[in-house]
Structure 1
Amino acid sequence: MNDFLNDYNQTVHPSLLKSFIAINNKKLAGYGLDEYCKQAITNIQKRLQSPHADVHFMPGGTITNLTVISHILKPYQAVIAANTGHINVHETGAIEATGHKVISVPTADGKLTPELIEPVLFHHSDEHMVQPKLIYISNTTELGTIYSQQDLKNLYQYCQKNRLFLYLDGARLAMALAAKDNDLTLPDLAKYTDVFYIGGTKVGAFAGEMVIFNNLSINQDFRFSMKQKGAILAKSWIVAVQMNELMQNDLYFQLGQHSNNMADKLKIVFEKAGLTFASKPQTNQLFVNFPNQLAEKIIAHYAVDNLGPIDDHNCCLRFCTSWSTQIDEIDRLDRLLQSWLS
């Protein structure tokens, strides 16, 4: 089966594997207190131009979102997310299971704006409803779109004005920062979010994400929350070693760029076939509108995400390229698609 289902289906990038082999047989301190965690923290603080940023190592995206959000919010407070947001759609009610409501907002492109948030704040005006306190966004979004520097700045300033916190999910941050349209930098993220994370799972890591608190008024006792939620790894160096390697020589950004480049080539294949897109292609996720009969042939030959019908005659399929996608995979799909269309 050919596979465009996701961007974490390849085991591990060779450079990251070598980094583990290089430290084999070493005895290391536990729970993030080892030399590699300290090194990764220093390195990312320099990258962010933020020497006081508070850095933590987490095993995966869902437990990161659950732990960060539940730590920040008081029992009566809620998080606002796009209706397509990962915490609203793909995390099995993890946030709600901690006792916090996810207030979902319909968006055209997966992105939140002050204009979309304003009616929620107006509606939740007193103690008879949950109090919105945290804004959750992801970059890239679940529709593959990205936030510009001005987008993020506007959102952050709105949050500051309305005493809200801004949290950015960076599961696919490498692809966002490597996008052709991108003008955001890592220092911008330190400047215009209260907390965000740098994802490793989707750029060749075995697993692991790195959480960065920029607002040091909300990180107190965070390690207690991590431990309670099962988010502190005894071998936290597993994540740190990979993050060190990904950041060295800009490998992180190169892998994000490769994922995007493969999606660009795939986009040309679909355009040549006369197909349209459900959202603007910007990164490594393509949401393609297919006639049902053609979609059935695709699904029979490829692992893709079937997002369901658009109308009686068409449906939407998601194709996701990765750091390991090769050009011959794109060419093979191109030939197959052309043969079906002819």
Structure 2
Amino acid sequence: MYSFKNDYAEGAHPRILQALLDSNFVQEAGYGEDSFTQKAIELLREKLGRQDVDIHLLSGGTQTNLTAISAFLRPHEAAIAASTGHIFTHETGAIEATGHKVISVETKDGKLNPSLIKEVLDLHTDEHMVKPKLVYLSNSTEIGSIYIKSELTDLRDFCKEQNLLLYMDGARLGSALCSDDNDLKLSDIPSLVDAFYIGGTKNGALLGEALVICCNSLKEDFRFHLKQKGALLAKGRLLGSQFYELFRDDLFFELAQHANKMATILREECSNADFSFLTYSPSNQIFPILPNALIAELQKNYAFIVWEKVDSTHSAIRLVTSWATKEEEVRAFVEDMKKSNEL
């Protein structure tokens, strides 16, 4: 049984494990004040081309989102997210548990735009309702679409006009930046959003996300929020060592490129077999629509998520490739798909 369920089924890239092993007996300070974390932060600032950003390393995406968003918002303020957004659908109400409502917006492609956000603002006009304050987006999105530079620029300009914060979930940022459709550079992002994170968990790290705070007003006392939310790790060195290894010679992008390459093979072969897709996805997640009988056959040898029922005989599935996905397994899936479809 080979899994295309997610991009964190494997452990970590061997170089990450070797870096952790090599530094295992080096004694270091705790809580992110170690030399590995400081080196990683300086390296990330260099890659971003911004020495004025604050960078904090956290263990996972949900922890990063709830810590950041709850720190950035006042008690009566809310976040706006696409209805497919991770904070709305897959974080067990983590944001709401901190006292902040998530206002959902229906979208066709998983992406927000100024007109969709304005509809929310027009409905929330006084103190009898929560006040929309933060716009949450994911790049790549939960359904595999990506934001290009002009889209983010439009969002930034609109958010500034409306005094809204713009926050980007970057759990799969590597895949988005390495997509063939992308025109955005990592160094572009700090000028386009108020805060974002660079996902390591889904791109070769054992665990870890790097939260980048670009807006000065959001930086104060953030380590207090980290500690209060259980996100200030005593052994923060484990995160620092991994991010330094991922970025010291751009391993981060190499791994994302591999994941995208494997997804491209699956996407092209599904298209060649005349299967349509639930959504256009140029990243490492694809959503082909297959006959239910074919899905049942494929599930005998492959693990994947049946995403959505399309009609009485067809469903969309989600196939996710990772930094470690083996091309021979991708080719085997394609061949089994073709053979089973012919039966």
TM-score (norm 1): 0.98
Cα displacement (A) at 1:117? 0.4
**SS of alignment partner, residue 16 of structure 1:** helix
In 1, the alpha carbon distance for the partners of 2:217 and 2:129 equals: 25
Find the counterpart in structure 2 of residue 15 from structure 1: 15
Q: Is 1:294 matched up with 2:294?
A: yes
Q: Which residue identity is paired with 2:120?
A: V
Q: Is 1:219 matched up with 2:249?
A: no
Show the 5 A alignment for 1:22-171.
Answer: 22-171=22-171
Find the counterpart in structure 1 of residue 197 from structure 2: 197
83-92 vs 268-277, greater mean Cα deviation: 268-277
Q: Which residue identity is paired with 1:115?
A: S
Find the counterpart in structure 2 of residue 232 from structure 1: 232
In 1, the alpha carbon distance for the partners of 2:336 and 2:44 equals: 44
Percent of matched pairs sharing the same residue: 45
Show the 5 A alignment for 1:310-321.
Answer: 310-321=310-321
For residues 2-22 of structure 1, what are the alpha-carbon distances to aligned partners after superposition, in whole Å with 9 as ceiling and x for unaligned?
A: 110000011110111111122
55-64 vs 325-334, greater mean Cα deviation: 325-334
Find the counterpart in structure 2 of residue 263 from structure 1: 263
Cα displacement (A) at 1:49? 1.2
Cα displacement (A) at 1:281? 2.4
Cα displacement (A) at 1:272? 2.4
Cα displacement (A) at 1:300? 2.7
State the 4+ residue runs in structure 1 displaced beyond 4 angstroms: none
In 1, the alpha carbon distance for the partners of 2:247 and 2:315 equals: 39
In 2, the alpha carbon distance for the partners of 1:238 and 1:24 equals: 9
In 2, the alpha carbon distance for the partners of 1:308 and 1:134 equals: 29
For residues 12-65 of structure 1, what are the alpha-carbon distances to aligned partners after superposition, in whole Å with 9 as ceiling and x for unaligned?
A: 101111111221211000001111111111111111111110010101000100
**SS of alignment partner, residue 287 of structure 2:** strand
Contact 2:43 2:248 in 1 (8 A): no
Cα displacement (A) at 1:299? 2.3
Contact 1:273 1:337 in 2 (8 A): no
Q: Which residue identity is paired with 1:18?
A: Q
**SS of alignment partner, residue 217 of structure 1:** helix
Cα displacement (A) at 1:308? 2.9
Find the counterpart in structure 2 of residue 283 from structure 1: 283
Show the 5 A alignment for 1:319-330.
Answer: 319-330=319-330
Q: Which residue identity is paired with 1:285?
A: Q
**SS of alignment partner, residue 74 of structure 1:** coil
Find the counterpart in structure 2 of residue 333 from structure 1: 333
Q: Which residue identity is paired with 1:100?
A: H
For residues 285-325 of structure 1, what are the alpha-carbon distances to aligned partners after superposition, in whole Å with 9 as ceiling and x for unaligned?
A: 00111111111112232110111311212111000000001
**SS of alignment partner, residue 335 of structure 1:** helix
Contact 1:171 1:200 in 2 (8 A): yes
Q: Which residue identity is paired with 1:315?
A: S
Show the 5 A alignment for 1:164-179.
Answer: 164-179=164-179
Cα displacement (A) at 1:274? 1.7
**SS of alignment partner, residue 201 of structure 1:** coil
Structure 2: gaps of 5 or more residues: none
Q: Which residue identity is paired with 2:62?
A: T
TM-score (norm 2): 0.98
Contact 1:144 1:284 in 2 (8 A): yes
**SS of alignment partner, residue 202 of structure 1:** coil
Cα displacement (A) at 1:273? 2.0
Contact 2:201 2:208 in 1 (8 A): yes
Contact 1:194 1:215 in 2 (8 A): yes
CA RMSD, aligned part only? 0.9
